[in-house]
């Protein structure tokens, strides 16, 4: 029977792994994601979950262990945060290129220096171009749901890609929220057993990850590109099924909140959308025609959806909880992709970006009000004055 509980994002992610019946888990501690592994270790010790629980000697080892497990035909899980995510960087391309659909749960964390532990999206976003399915959960329920959806999409033979199931460190990973735990039969219906088309098997010996020639490298790149091209249709299918089986109401790529009659929208991903909803409701009550569009998948980037949804508005404020130092807009990387998606639209909104929620800071309501003010001004003047606003740190306010 499905039951409703209050639990943190880490606890709900661990529950998702249990429902998905993961077979091999490899851990290495780093906060905040480490609570996922604590929960799983308990489940394995108590006999609730029949999985190999392996202690890696670091993140690079963690990813290497699960790559082997996945190649051998086991549903595998690992995870990390912050500098742990970047320490394992070398393994991301071979895992994606080797088409091993394992899952890495990330509770994000600001990168060093000097040892900040707050939430920021830069850690996992640094690995966004390696061929992993990736997106952020807004709350513990979505962290649970995304994990199951990602396994299903990644393991689909039309895709076969690893997944980074991300959630905001602390804001999601450690703040309890309502989570509906489904019945096991629902999950079994949604997520078929793990079946790799090319597993390591002593009866049919194959070479995984052999040395290849440069002319074969291009073809390997094409294979990974093809998998990403195939992914959106598979995601739509999976989410339609998920909504049906679990009685949820997810739109696959973009969630629109109070966008009816909106002239301008906040565009963001992850936990700060919780506060953003309150800000939108308040601003609407004051007569400001604002809404919110929340990104559910960073990879594959939903180019067409972003173009069709955002071109309905007059102004878009992209809230970056990541950094792209020296990038085209000198702020974060979301605006790059938003603008690239909108470029071919006949009717383009004015766009700008806001650096907020960096280093684990909250994005309080007053910051959303400030952003709305900047966007209103932008609409009034009919032009984008600046590509990026470092919220609270601009000399020239709005």
Partner 1 sequence: MPYFKIPKEKEVPLACITPAPVGEQPMMITGNWRIYRPVIDHEKCTLCMNCVMFCPDACWQLNEEEDEVVWNAKYCKGCSICVRECASGALTNEYELNFADGVVRLEKPF
Residue 233 within binding range of partner 1, rule CB under 8 A: no
- 177: nearest Cα among 15, 64, 347: 15
3-state secondary structure 69-124: HHHCCCCEEEEECHHHHHHCHHHHHHHHHCCCCCEEEEECCCCCCCCCCCCCCHHH
Residue 236 within binding range of partner 1, rule CB under 8 A: no
Total Cβ atoms within 10 A of residue 249: 7
Task: Find the binder of partner 1 among 47, 114, 214, 382 (CB under 8 A).
Answer: 214
Residue 216 within binding range of partner 1, rule CB under 8 A: yes
Among positions 255-284, residues that touch partner 1 (CB under 8 A) are none
Nearest-angstrom CA–CA distance, 115 and 262: 40
Nearest-angstrom CA–CA distance, 167 and 121: 9
Residue 197 within binding range of partner 1, rule CB under 8 A: yes
Closest separation between CB of residue 237 and partner 1, Å? 16
Residue 203 within binding range of partner 1, rule CB under 8 A: no
Residue 240 within binding range of partner 1, rule CB under 8 A: no
Q: Which is nearer to partner 1, 47 or 205 (CB)?
A: 205
- 313: nearest Cα among 270, 246, 375: 375
Binding part of the chain for partner 1, among 83-91, 127-135, 207-215, 234-242 by CB under 8 A, reads 207-215
Nearest-angstrom CA–CA distance, 119 and 173: 10
Task: Find the binder of partner 1 among 207, 285, 286, 347 (CB under 8 A).
Answer: 207
Residue 226 within binding range of partner 1, rule CB under 8 A: yes
Whether 313 contacts 262, CB under 8 Å: yes
Closest separation between CB of residue 98 and partner 1, Å? 5
Binding part of the chain for partner 1, among 26-34, 96-104, 237-245, 263-271 by CB under 8 A, reads 96-104
Nearest-angstrom CA–CA distance, 11 and 35: 7
Task: Find the binder of partner 1 among 9, 32, 98, 252 (CB under 8 A).
Answer: 98
Closest separation between CB of residue 232 and partner 1, Å? 12
Whether 245 contacts 152, CB under 8 Å: no
Residue 223 within binding range of partner 1, rule CB under 8 A: yes
Tokens of residue 211, six digits: 């040395």
Task: Find the binder of partner 1 among 18, 75, 99, 296 (CB under 8 A).
Answer: 99
**Considering all CA atoms of the chain, what is the largest pairwise distance in Å, rounded to the nearest integer?**
70
Task: Find the binder of partner 1 among 82, 97, 302, 349 (CB under 8 A).
Answer: 97
Residues near partner 1 (CB under 8 A), total: 26
Task: Find the binder of partner 1 among 2, 6, 45, 212 (CB under 8 A).
Answer: 212
Residue 213 within binding range of partner 1, rule CB under 8 A: yes
Closest separation between CB of residue 199 and partner 1, Å? 10
Nearest-angstrom CA–CA distance, 380 and 261: 17
Residue 2 within binding range of partner 1, rule CB under 8 A: no
Rg (CA), the chain: 21
Among positions 155-184, residues that touch partner 1 (CB under 8 A) are 160
Nearest-angstrom CA–CA distance, 355 and 56: 35
CA 112, 113, 116, 120 dihedral sign is negative
Q: Contact positions toward partner 1, by CB under 8 A? A: 97-99, 160, 197-198, 205-216, 219-220, 222-223, 225-226, 229-230
């Amino acid at each position: 029977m499905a039951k409703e509980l209050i639990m943190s994002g880490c606890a709900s992610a661990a529950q998702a792994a249990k429902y998905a019946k993961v077979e091999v888990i490899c851990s290495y501690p780093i906060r905040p994601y480490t609570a996922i592994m604590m929960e799983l270790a308990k489940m394995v010790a108590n006999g609730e979950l029949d999985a190999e629980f392996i202690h890696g000697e670091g993140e690079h080892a963690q990813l290497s262990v699960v790559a082997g497990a996945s190649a051998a035909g086991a549903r595998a899980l690992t995870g990390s945060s912050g500098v742990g995510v970047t320490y394992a960087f070398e393994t991301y391309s071979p895992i994606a290129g080797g088409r091993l659909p394992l899952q890495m749960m990330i509770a994000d964390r600001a990168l060093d220096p000097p040892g900040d532990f707050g939430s920021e999206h830069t850690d996992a976003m640094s690995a966004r171009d390696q061929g992993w399915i990736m997106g952020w959960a807004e709350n513990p329920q979505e962290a649970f749901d995304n994990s199951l959806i990602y396994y299903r999409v990644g393991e689909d033979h039309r895709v076969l890609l690893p997944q980074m199931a991300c959630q905001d460190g602390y804001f999601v990973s450690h703040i309890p929220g309502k989570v509906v735990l489904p019945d096991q039969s629902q999950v079994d219906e949604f997520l078929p057993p793990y079946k790799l088309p090319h597993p390591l098997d002593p009866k049919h010996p194959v070479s995984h990850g052999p040395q290849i020639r440069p002319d074969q490298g291009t073809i390997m790149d094409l294979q990974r590109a093809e998998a990403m091209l195939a992914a959106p249709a598979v995601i739509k299918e999976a989410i339609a099924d998920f909504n049906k089986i679990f009685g949820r109401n997810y739109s696959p790529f973009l969630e629109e909140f109070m966008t009816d009659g909106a002239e301008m929208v906040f565009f963001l991903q992850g936990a700060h959308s919780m506060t953003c909803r309150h800000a939108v409701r308040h601003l609407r009550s004051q007569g400001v025609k604002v809404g919110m569009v929340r990104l559910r998948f960073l990879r594959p980037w939903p180019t067409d959806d972003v173009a069709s949804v955002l071109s309905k508005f007059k102004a878009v404020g992209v809230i970056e909880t990541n950094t792209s130092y020296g990038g085209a807009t000198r702020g974060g990387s979301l605006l790059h992709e938003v603008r690239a998606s909108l470029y071919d639209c006949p009717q383009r909104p004015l766009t700008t970006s806001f650096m907020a929620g960096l280093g684990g800071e909250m994005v309080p309501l007053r910051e959303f009000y400030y952003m709305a003010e900047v966007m209103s001004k932008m609409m009034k003047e009919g032009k984008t004055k600046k590509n990026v606003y470092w919220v609270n740190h601009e000399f020239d306010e709005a």
